[in-house]
Structure 1
Amino acid sequence: MGKPAGRLVSLDALRGFTIAAMITVNFPGHPDFVYAPLHHTRWNGLSFTDLIAPIFLFVIGVSIAFAYSRRLAEKSPKAELHRKIIIRAVKIFAVGMFLNLLPAFDISDVRWTGTLHRIAFVFLFCGLLFLHTTWRQQAWIAAIILVGYWLAMTLIPTPGVGEVMLEPGVNLAAWVDQQWLPGKMWQGTWDPEGILSTFPATATGITGMLAGRLLLSRFTPHEKVNFLMTAGVLSSLLGYAWSLAFPLNENLWTSSFVLLTSGFAALLLGALYFVVDILGRQRGTGVGVIFGANAITVYVLADIFALVFYGTLFGEVPLNEQAVGALIDWGLAPKLASMLYALAFTAINFIPAYALYKKKIFIKL
């Protein structure tokens, strides 16, 4: 590995655009009027929206490689790095719990999982792995996780059923959650961010760390792009081939889903790295960089702002439905009106992101 590099504008922009996309799809103007690509796939399959979470975990892995390569090069004590990684993971998890408790703060009926909870665990596991393993060991660990998860999910009969099942709420991962996951589950009898699926989600983070290692290597910038794009194509093809036996499924975070989405993430990062950092064409990246500078903070603010923009009632109708209804009355197609409201809400979240960026305030949860 070469000398730790400075910040990549492409990486910062990808992080920010991913968060912006996450906010847009999480908060449609009206839940009944949503374009198909902006929906999560109901079960097996892959949509644009299904790509967002794995790309963000991939970016977290790349960021870990950049941040902790620098710390290790500076000879920072590993005990201190352990402490910082654990504290940051706990803070992210705690903020996730805070959002789950909104608005009633009813601890008796709370969900203990979610997007931030998964980010916390993936960051924790990947951060500790990065400090104590080589890139080859990380690659082997990811491979073992993915193959082991595949074998477990497709060979172990679902308890209580007597045969292997991969259906919603009826599969090994759902059974594990039903036995040991505290609190309520997102879908009643199963949770997309449950216990078992956190292991392949960690493998997604590891693929990002491997990409980060490549970008920090002594290869020339053009060689880095070639390797990253080649790895992206091969990972995508292998993920597709694996999906013929172990379907693409974000809810189960299947091994095929990890490889295909990590391949897409590598291709996207490679393309951005070539255009933005090698060719120096940074026009249009500013919005992404600003969102990305305080990515998790903006994600949290979006949930808080939603209490107003999606929870405020005018008569008996929420503000978002009032606004979408007005746009439809003006002649817009319902799905277009819904998407425009979602984009407007994302733009509102850009305001605090811009203010923090201009004041050079970077909140690290």
Structure 2
Amino acid sequence: MGMYKLIKGDADHVIARPNENSSSNDLLSIEEGLTVVPNQKLKSSPTAIDADCSDSLPVLAAAAADASAAAAGKKKKQRQRLVSLDVFRGLTVALMILVDDAGAFFPAINHSPWNGVTLADFVMPFFLFIVGVALALAYKRVSNKTDATIKALFRALKLLVLGLVLQGGYFHGVRNLTYGVDILDIRLMGVLQRIAIAYLLAAACEIWLKSDDEVYSGWSLLKKYRLQLLVGCILSIIYMALLYGLYVPDWEYQISGPGSTVETFSVKCGVRGDAGPGCNAVGMVDRKILGIRHLYKRPVYGRAKECSVDFPKNGPLPLDAPSWCQAPFDPEGLLSSVMAIVTCLVGLQFGHVIVHFEDHKERIVHWMVPSFSLLALAFSLDFFGMQMNKALYTFSYTCITAGTAGLLFAGIYVLVDVYGIRWPTFAMEWMGMHALMIYILIACNILPVLIQGFYWRNPRNNLLKLIGV
């Protein structure tokens, strides 16, 4: 957060520039776009746009609203947030908590074991989309591109480190009063690491790859940001070329058995273009670059029909289970993160609409057209064989989640920022403004383990047990 100095922008817009001495209380709060949006009817338009450049990156979080500092001797003016972005973020946090806690009991909302999309599979892309929207507003004005790039790099590094600490090992087991991260087996990738990568690449695109062309229509908007769109297309082509073109040889992995025994499993592949759990190029790239010891040890395909007698829940292995059922696989791996960057770039383009168009109707039209186009493309690709798959982050999955995010954001914008109907979404708005705190305390189990740390005589007699958790 921090204090902001008011400067003049185009068309007498007021832009908030961060004070050099500002600081943030929220490690992961992104430079959040803030827009003054009066509570008017659909044909009304906002009169000002300002950018909130806080000290760190949003995963799930955004800085709370401050007072803007005017130039020396002038009165302070209250900043007004783009409330719809907070509500969207809060809704995504609530969705994350729901699927994490209830997904095991209701498989229909849990992550899909492999192909297909469920409610849980929208959480990560929604966060990436939100990061992109906020970046467009944060970097509306960049006075020093090199300095802005360095700051973005350090924010991404902060997020990477936090991800390694929270998701690299076992921070503190819910039922085990111990702390430890085995460096030999530390998980190198994760949710926060993926968002850091997407943030850094999208921020670099926004800082360096935009022209000075004026924007007066949808086509001129595409022209101004054509290099960013080209980057998105190139990344998509590279990803699909590697996914369907790389040769995947046979490979082995080991798991610990009873006592100190180690079992070795061989997975027969020798194929190209396979999109199944055992022989896909996404997993091979991660095994070669990251090392199989540093991948996620409980892959989602462990709930697949081939791997669980209790499908779609976790269960014992069937007698004829394939050899890959217990193999490590990282759903936030390197190659699949390429398409995560594309999702962030899509959100970036939606943010540009806020920056360059003032009329509510224009904004909504410029959001609805690409959203429906992405949805149509997603269903077409899925119909012709490129199935939606969250673990692989396929192109069709990118389209379905980005299109849905665009429609949902547009709907929230109309409800909250156009008509000013905020009371039904007050809780979501609050969660969106404190998303990092909620994520760390609840999603990363910090709150449960803190509560568990208080016990009577024996650690088993702790507060969690008392309340029935």
Q: Give TM class, smaller chain.
A: 0.7 to 0.9
Matched, 1:84 2:151: yes
3-state secondary structure, aligned to 1:53: helix
Matched, 1:282 2:390: no
The equivalent position to 1:93 in structure 2, one of 149, 152, 160, is 160
The answer to whether the 8 A contact 1:169-1:189 is kept is no
The residue that corresponds to 2:191 in the other structure is 115
Give the partner amino acid of 1:185.
L
The equivalent position to 1:264 in structure 2, one of 389, 404, 407, is 404
Partner Cα separation in structure 2 for residue 312 and residue 178 of structure 1: 41
Partner Cα separation in structure 1 for residue 126 and residue 451 of structure 2: 27
Q: How does 1:152-163 map to 2 (within 5 A)?
A: 152-160=242-250, 161-163=269-271
Give the partner amino acid of 1:190.
F
Residues 92-145 of structure 1, C-alpha deviations (whole Å, 9 max, x = no match): 111111112312233232111111111111111111111011222111211222
- Runs of 4+ in structure 1 off by over 4 angstroms are 1-4, 308-318
Task: Give the drift of 1:237.
Answer: 0.9
The answer to whether the 8 A contact 1:57-1:204 is kept is yes
The residue that corresponds to 1:172 in the other structure is 281
Partner Cα separation in structure 2 for residue 283 and residue 62 of structure 1: 24
The 3 A distance-change label for structure 1 pair 320 and 263 is farther
Partner Cα separation in structure 2 for residue 112 and residue 128 of structure 1: 23
Residues 156-187 of structure 1, C-alpha deviations (whole Å, 9 max, x = no match): 33233332211113211101111111442113
Give the partner amino acid of 1:282.
R
The answer to whether the 8 A contact 2:295-2:329 is kept is yes
The answer to whether the 8 A contact 2:448-2:464 is kept is no
Task: Give the drift of 1:286.
Answer: 2.0
Partner Cα separation in structure 2 for residue 205 and residue 316 of structure 1: 45
Which segment is superposed worse, 3-12 or 221-230? 3-12
The 3 A distance-change label for structure 1 pair 156 and 110 is closer
3-state secondary structure, aligned to 1:37: coil
Which segment is superposed worse, 224-233 or 4-13? 4-13
Partner Cα separation in structure 2 for residue 121 and residue 112 of structure 1: 13
The residue that corresponds to 2:295 in the other structure is 185
Q: How does 1:1-365 map to 2 (within 5 A)?
A: 5-6=49-50, 7-28=81-102, 32=104, 34-69=105-140, 71-72=141-142, 75=143, 77-100=144-167, 101=169, 102-103=171-172, 104-134=180-210, 135-160=225-250, 161-163=269-271, 164-182=273-291, 183-186=293-296, 187=299, 188-244=327-383, 245-302=385-442, 303=444, 304-308=446-450, 315=460, 319=464, 323=468
The answer to whether the 8 A contact 1:234-1:263 is kept is yes
Give the partner amino acid of 1:222.
K
The 3 A distance-change label for structure 1 pair 173 and 310 is farther
Residues 234-291 of structure 1, C-alpha deviations (whole Å, 9 max, x = no match): 1111011112321100101111111110000000001111111111111222222222
Partner Cα separation in structure 2 for residue 117 and residue 232 of structure 1: 27
TM-score by length of 1: 0.80
TM-score by length of 2: 0.63
The 3 A distance-change label for structure 1 pair 289 and 173 is same
The 3 A distance-change label for structure 1 pair 306 and 115 is farther
Task: Give the drift of 1:154.
Answer: 2.1
3-state secondary structure, aligned to 2:335: coil
The 3 A distance-change label for structure 1 pair 65 and 166 is same
Partner Cα separation in structure 1 for residue 355 and residue 397 of structure 2: 26
The residue that corresponds to 1:344 in the other structure is none
Task: Give the drift of 1:316.
Answer: 9.4
Which segment is superposed worse, 270-279 or 136-145? 136-145
Which segment is superposed worse, 147-156 or 42-51? 147-156
The residue that corresponds to 2:59 in the other structure is none
The answer to whether the 8 A contact 1:235-1:262 is kept is yes
Instruction: Return the structure number with greater strand share.
Output: 2
Larger Rg, first or second structure (1 or 2): 2
The 3 A distance-change label for structure 1 pair 177 and 267 is same
The answer to whether the 8 A contact 1:309-1:320 is kept is no
Instruction: Return the structure number with greater helix share.
Output: 1
The 3 A distance-change label for structure 1 pair 239 and 309 is farther
The answer to whether the 8 A contact 2:114-2:389 is kept is yes
Give the partner amino acid of 1:49.
A
Partner Cα separation in structure 1 for residue 465 and residue 368 of structure 2: 41
Which segment is superposed worse, 260-269 or 106-115? 106-115
The alignment of Structure 1 onto Structure 2 pairs a total of residues equal to: 317
Partner Cα separation in structure 2 for residue 116 and residue 190 of structure 1: 17
Percent sequence identity is 29
